Structure formats: structure tokens, C-alpha cells
Amino acid sequence: MTEIHLQQHIAPSGEQMTVRDLASCPPPERWHDWVEYDAKAWPRKVERHYAIIPTICFNCEAACGLMAYVDKETGRVKKFEGNPYHPGSRGRNCAKGPATINQVNDPERILYPLKRAGKRGEGKWERTTWDEVLDTFATKIRAAIIEDRRDEVMYHVGRPGHDGYMERVLGAWGVDGHNSHTNVCSSSARFGYQIWCGMDRPSPDHANARFILLISSHLETGHYFNPQAQRIIEGKMKGAKLAVMDPRLSNTASMADYWLPTWPGSETAVLLAMARIIIVENLYNRDYMRRWVNWQEYLATEHPTEPQTFDHFITVLLDLYAEYTPSFAAHESGLEEETIIDIARQIGLAGTAFAAHTWRAATAGNLGGWQVARALWFLSVLTGSIGTPGGTAPNAWNKFVPAPFLKPRPSEVWNELLFPPEYPLANYEMSILLPYFLKEGRGKLAAYFTRVYNPVWTNPDGTAWIEMLTNEQQVELHAALTPVWSETAWYTDYVLPMGVGSERHDLMSQETHAARWIGFRQPVLRVYRERNGEPIDYTYQANPGEVWEEDEFWIELSWRIDPDGSLGIRKYFESPYRPGHKLAIEEYYRWIFENSVPGLPEAAAQEQLSPLEYMRTYGSFEIPMDKAPVFTLNERELKSTDVEGAQVDKLSGKITRNGSPLGVTIDGKAYEGFPTPSRKLEFYSATLKEWGWPEYAIPSYIHSHVHRDAINHDMGEYLLIPTFRLPTLIHTRSGNAKWLYEISNANPVWVHPIDAERIGVQTGDLARVTTEIGYFVNRAWVTDGIRPGIVACSHHLGRWRLETGQGTDRWASALVELVKVNDGIWRMRQLEGIQPFASDDPDSARIFWREGGVHQNLTFPVHPDPVSGMHCWHQKVMVEPAHPGDAYGDVYVDTKKAHMVYQEWLAMTRPQTQRPDGLRRPLWMIRPYRPAASAFKVIPKVPLKEL
């Protein structure tokens, strides 16, 4: 019996949680036995009894709360709804959250570990045992560790879904083997933020902002979009104005007060012009700038003979940015001058309540895209809105990652396959270049795990990945840990089924708003059965088939790598409560909740629960503000004992002890500051200058590889935006969610009517889109919702499989033929679109969609930005009507051309290999898995004759 509850709930952050707004919300005291009528039995009133168990959605990075309704009669999950007590999502989810039930019940899901029975990629599989999988990998990894080949073990992650767990595993093994998807995603935006403040993501306080500027489609998609979208709308309802820069009229742009359809890559020019207006019109926060920007360092280094005063710095700023006039920015971007001026003024007037966000979008598309994020942060610095109510905090101030027991020492290994000498500043691993590096003989992989990661489909130049994965000299052993079939899993040795969001443990925290919280993903059927007194030793015993959870997989594998503890690995996987015994997964989290989450033990005790019971019951916890403050943390004062005996630099105020920075002195007081070399906000980056890029030492505009001047429409050339997400899908792991594919099953090429006429296509016509290395054939969609001169195609669709009944889910994929036809040329043709199929789910026979989209990423070469390392996604393309013989979904790729483009972009780098300090990378720059400082040093190779 669903009830109406109008509850007022104030979160520790002071934010009013919106439980009160929900029309239907089971109160926690009734979660153990919640009763609803069976809708299918209507008009009879048949009661169904549910146990409600919270977990965390795994369908994007936002980590929203879910509540699983476990039917007490069947012992199965009936549905998922939002968890109103989750501080980030507050009971609301996007379509992908409830669609978790499709993933649980997917008739195509992999239920048992599979081993290839033929050659790699041949598509022959046999069921194997987990014991066989674990022993095979343990033997291989143990040998690599013992023989000191510690750069041959690699874990390559698409969606992490947890904080810190894997870094601990790799640290315990002593390997430098963390690879990620980040340089096809966000490493560029991250670099722009990091170079300013030492933290690499923005966390806007939208709900309290007066002006919001988004360079993303953040109301519908993007990082933490659902939790943030709620707060953007709250901000708007309180009077905030919203501006959205996007060449596409996204759902977000359609809700904005200002839609700014900039030419891609010109955003930096617009933002710097806005910065100049704010300075010229004296709208900047003078005191904040004076105190927190490293202007002294800049003047002393670059203008040593000029007055070393803040006023003079402002004069120099005006000079530096003199060319960024509204008319210059208008010319570059195509926006109106008046609009640029108007928005700059509103940002200036919003002051400390200016919230701004960019993620992927322009930063991910363009050469020099990292300058977009850097220029955007410049506006936040000018307005003094860093970490203020209504402003934008660095992510680390709004995120909480608790420490586990017994942290391993960082490894002393540096893996040049991840951070090669050409990219010393790359914000994340150079993962898109792995196939080229292996082909060039830079190394090999003895044991390779891809984890919820599908590089064959997701990455540019996917055929290079197929060639790498099928080469057993380059990749000796490969397993895909995945809840769902993928194009990449086809080319592995083992496909290892892992749990979806309701079948695994993880701990998550995201910077969704001005607070810090943790969310507990848990295997709901295991929790349910344990509550009913059934002993469960491993999560797979409660999951469908033999679906494991990864946490337990890594514990088991680590024990087998080091069975007697002699390698020093096993101790990290022994129970902190039962010395010498294997760690039970419950103990891992129990220890964290008891020891590392401020305020949780007290909150649990108030309800007569242990901290673990509290998290199992509610699924999340918001850290009280007094224990984990979130605003202006740079202003935290150091205690006199902290600075006793430390050195203070007279010019900059930087406080160091034995060379390690502690903080900064400003106006006679010692503050913690920012984790940058100067401990201030680095308008001037000595790092960029010292590491080969002096022309980028301050925020500046880099012409994108798809700058307007590079595109000639008269020659049929256009700029292709291939990056945008659909709100209903998530990369390649929503192929097992039938509801989502029922909503979204086509990715036509957006074309403006002016361009459509010039090209000679109408909506529904086939068009051939030709890139540097090949082409794809897709349907056109003629719309005013895109800027003329630009075409766009969502990257979410166009899944494929190579056999009728195996491979990528049939809800989502076309059956294709993919062949290497002659030297370096690959061709794909669809043999059959999406079709109904017979299964235990009657809906599979009702599939009505047929085409399922076109895959475009195969036709893109790699474009690694020479500074940030980010793949620059945007493409210069030719668009024309399809040629005779072209068919929907055709893909053609010339891998020789792809290799040439790789070499062209590699030649743009400036390797810093002969540094006097011997460093491979600045010590202060973060890495997702950070080896010991000693590993940052290049060990000079000793010639053999000297040995």
C-alpha cells in the first residue's frame, strides 16, 4: 500500500533533501516488509511483500542511490527505484537506474566463465571453472612479479565503479599496471583544472548559484548529471541564470537562458574575452586575486624589471589579453559580441556565486581542449568563486575516499606503456596508444585485464585494438571482466561475468554538490539471504549462475599469486579481525566503516546499529560538515606547531620543510592553500614552462585541429562532433537493457538545413561521412538544432556482433561481417539489423527496432593532444550522399593511414628526457595509481662494458 509521505529531512550539509517532494516513498522503518498491490492482478487487490535493500546504480559514474525491491515470495528482485536517503540523487534517477532490472534479467547475459576454444577472435567458447581462471592468471602474474617484469601486468578499466580498491590491489602486487579509459574521456578537462589548482575536476554548487555557465549538456548527460541537474534546476528556480555553450541544441541548451552555439574549439577565445571584460570593467574580486593567485611568481619570473605589485599585475593582464576583444571572440566563435559582453558582466556580478562546469564536450573534442577548462576556471578565479557557496569547488573538497586497512607501499616501477617519455604531463595514462606502443616493440603484456572496458568499440582506430588483441606475442593472456558481452570480449582468452549494480560491493563518493558522502553498493540478494539466516561465503552464491563480484575475485587471485605470503602480497588480503585468515569482503568494508568514516560510528550507534549495519540498511552516509567541511578549504590556517622550523619564501610566501610544501603565508597568516607547487592558484604555470611548453605558461587560446580556417565547406568539408551522449544510454554497457534500446536505437547524423541542401540529403537519406582514414554510412537527420557547418553523431549506438547467437546483446547489435580485405584495409557490412529473437523474455520477440545505429569510432585515427594526452575527438570530414552500393552501417578503414596519423600527432610532442633532475614527470602531478617518488626518476642505463 503505497503511502504519501511528506517528510522534511535536512541533510548534514544543511541542504534540504527532497524526500518531502516525493509522492511515494517507503519509510525506512518499513523497508523490511513493504507492501504493494500487484499491478498485474488488478482489479483484484493482491498484496506483494518486499524487502527493500539499498544499493548504488552502476550505469554511470554518478553513483545514484537505488532501492532494490526483493519479492519475498520469489526471492528475486522485482524492480529498482530511487533511494530518497541518498545525499546525491535524493530519490531521483534517470532512465538507466530503474533499467538495472533489465540487466539482472537479461536473457543474453553471461552466467559462467568462458574460455576460448579456438583462435582468439574465432568466436569459439567453452565453459570453464573459476578455479581454472584464477590458477592460470595467478601463475602468469606470479612469474612476472618474481622475474621483475612488473610492467607486464595491466588492469585496464573502463568504468571503475569503486574508489581506491583496485589501486590497493595493484599496490600490493607492486606493479605499475593501472590503465584507464580516461584519455578518451576527460583527461583534457582534468589537466586544465589540475594545472590551476592541483585537483582535477570541478564541483559546482549549482543550487546556490546566481549565474551558471555549462560547457556540456549537463541537464541530460555527463558527469554526475542527474544529481547536478536537480540542483541546476533548483538554482534556476531561485533565480539563477543559465548559459550553455554547445554547438548542438541539446536538451540542456533548450532549457538555458542563453544558448551559445560556439564553433568547437573557440570556447577558450570566448572565455578569455569574458575574462578581459571582467578585468576591464573592474568586476573581478580584487582581494581574492591578490591573495590567492601566484602573481608574484609570474611577475618575478617573466617581468623581473617591472614593479612587483598587484596593480601592475592587473596592468600586465590587460596587456596580455588585449587581443581577446569581444569582436575577436565573436569572429572565432560565431557568437554575437553583445552576448559575450552581457554574459561576462553577469558572471562578474554573480561574484562568488558563479558556478561553472565543463566535462568532455569542448575539452574532449579539440587539440588544446584543456585550455577550455583552464580558461573557464580563470573566470572562477577572477570572481573569487572557488569553493564558495554558489561557486565551484575543486572535486576533492566535495568527495570522501576513506582509507582501507593496511595500505601497501607504492611500487618502485614506472611503466612507460602508460606514461611514455613523449607525454610527461599527460593527465592520465596514454591508453589509446597501447596498440602502437606494442607494435613498436616498447613492451608486451603477460597478463591483461580489461574491466568494463570495450576499446575495440569505444576507442579510436578500433581495428588496431583487434590486431593487438589477436597477437599472442603482444598480449599473452587476456580476460575481460564484464557484466555484459562486448565487441572486445570477443577477442579475449577469458570472458569473466561480473555482477551488475545490485550484485557487487563497492564504495563510492562523488562531487555531486557541496557536501561529502559515501555510497555503498551491495549485492542485494546476498544481503537479503543473509538477513534471513542463510550463510553466504561468497557473493556468487547469491548471484545468478556463477557471476562473481570483482572484490572477491581480486582477493582470491592475490592469495593464489602469493599462497605462502613470501612475496609480501598476501598480508594485504588477510582479515584485519582474524589474523592469518583470508579477508572476507564484509570485513574489508566493516573495517572502513568502523575506522575511516567520520561521524558514521556515532550515527550508527544512535540507531543501535553497527557502522556496517547502518550502511547495509541505508546504503549511504553524508559526512557531517563539522567533521568534513567543504567550502574554501584553502583558507584553513596551519597551526603554529605545523610550521615550526619550516622555511618561508619571502617573495611568494610558500612554506616548505625539507623541500616539501606545507602551505603558504598570506598577509602574515599561514594557510594550507592548494596542492600546487606554489600552494596558490597557478595563473602562471612554471610546470608548463619547465616541461617544454613556455608559450602555454598562462591561460591562452590554442587553435584546434578543426579550427574554422581548416574546414572548407565549398569542398564538402564539415566538422563532425562524434562525442555527445544520449540521456538513455551509457557507452557500451547498456546493450543489455531492453527498455533503454526501446527508447534510443538510432544515431543519425545531425545536419543543418543549409548544409543538407548543399550536400543534397534529406532526413532519412543515407550519407557517406569520410574521415582521414576511412568512412561510415549513416542516415541524415536534418535539423535546426545544430550550427551550420557542423554535423554531429552520438557515439552511443552502432553496436555489432559477429555471430547470430553470441557476442554483443541482440537488443542492441547488428550482425556484421568484419574482414581485413587486403593489406591494412578493413571493411564492415551489416548482414542483418536488430531482429526479434526467442528467449525466456517474451519481450525479445517483440523487438520493433531494426537498424540500431552506425559505428563511427572505427573510422577515427588517434589524435593525442601533445600536452594533456587526451584523444581529440572532433573530426574534419567530407559529407556527401551515399555512393552507389553503399549500405547503412558500412564502415571502411585504412589502418596504414591510421598509423601515419598516429605518427603525425606523436611528432607534435616535446619529450623532456634529458632533464637535470632526471624526472619523468613533475612530482607534484597526480596519477591515478601513483608509484613511489623514486620511480619518477629515470635510472640512467649503464652501458654493458661498464658493468
Residue numbers of the site for ligand SF4 (CB under 6 A)? Answer: 57, 59-60, 62-64, 89, 93-94, 96-97, 225-226
Place of cell 604531463: 425
**Closer residue to ligand SF4 in complex, CB, 229/688:** 229
CB of 795 to ligand SF4, least distance (A): 16
Q: What is the number of other CB atoms lying within 10 angstroms of the CB of residue 441?
A: 8
**Closer residue to ligand SF4 in complex, CB, 247/483:** 483
CB of 452 to ligand SF4, least distance (A): 14
**Closer residue to ligand SF4 in complex, CB, 727/789:** 727
**Closer residue to ligand SF4 in complex, CB, 78/827:** 78
Residue 84: phi, psi to the nearest 5? -65, -15
Nearest to 756 by CA among 789, 724, 723: 789
Place of cell 518531502: 20
Cα-based angle 932, 935, 936 (whole degrees, multiple of 5): 100
**Closer residue to ligand SF4 in complex, CB, 78/689:** 78
Instruction: Give whole-number Cα distances, 387 to 67, 383, 384, 514, in Å.
Output: 32, 11, 9, 9
**Closer residue to ligand SF4 in complex, CB, 521/920:** 521
Lookup: cell for 647: 622555511
**Closer residue to ligand SF4 in complex, CB, 91/853:** 91
In angstroms, the first-to-last Cα distance of the chain is 81
431 within 8 A of 548, measured Cβ to Cβ: no
**How far apart (Å, rounded) are the C-alpha atoms in residues 909 and 423?**
7
- Return the DSSP state at 638: P
CB of 256 to ligand SF4, least distance (A): 20
Nearest to 250 by CA among 695, 660, 787: 787
**Closer residue to ligand SF4 in complex, CB, 233/666:** 233
Quick one: 446 exposed, middle or buried, by C-beta within 10 A (0-12, 13-18, 19+)? Answer: buried
CB of 411 to ligand SF4, least distance (A): 32
CB of 761 to ligand SF4, least distance (A): 34
DSSP strands (E only) in 672-724: 717-721
Lookup: cell for 846: 517483440
- What region does 842 belong to: left with phi over 0, alpha with psi -120 to 50, or beta? alpha
Lookup: cell for 727: 540521456
Instruction: Give whole-number Cα distances, 100 to 103, 539, 734, 739, 841, in Å.
Output: 5, 18, 9, 10, 15
CB of 97 to ligand SF4, least distance (A): 3
Radius of gyration of the chain measured on its C-alpha atoms? 27
**How far apart (Å, rounded) are the C-alpha atoms in residues 115 and 284?**
62
CB of 508 to ligand SF4, least distance (A): 9
**Closer residue to ligand SF4 in complex, CB, 57/818:** 57
Give yes or no for a cis peptide into 661 (omega within 30° of 0). Answer: no
- Where helices occur in 543-692 by DSSP H, the ranges are 550-561, 585-595, 600-606, 611-618, 640-643, 686-690
CB of 643 to ligand SF4, least distance (A): 43
Q: What is the number of other CB atoms lying within 10 angstroms of the CB of residue 177?
A: 28
**Closer residue to ligand SF4 in complex, CB, 89/268:** 89
Written as one letter, the residue type at 282 is: N
CB of 96 to ligand SF4, least distance (A): 4
CB of 525 to ligand SF4, least distance (A): 20
Cα 725 off chain centre by: 13
**Closer residue to ligand SF4 in complex, CB, 96/150:** 96
Q: Which residues pair with 66 in a beta bridge?
A: 55, 82
**Closer residue to ligand SF4 in complex, CB, 64/209:** 64
CB of 224 to ligand SF4, least distance (A): 7
CB of 555 to ligand SF4, least distance (A): 26
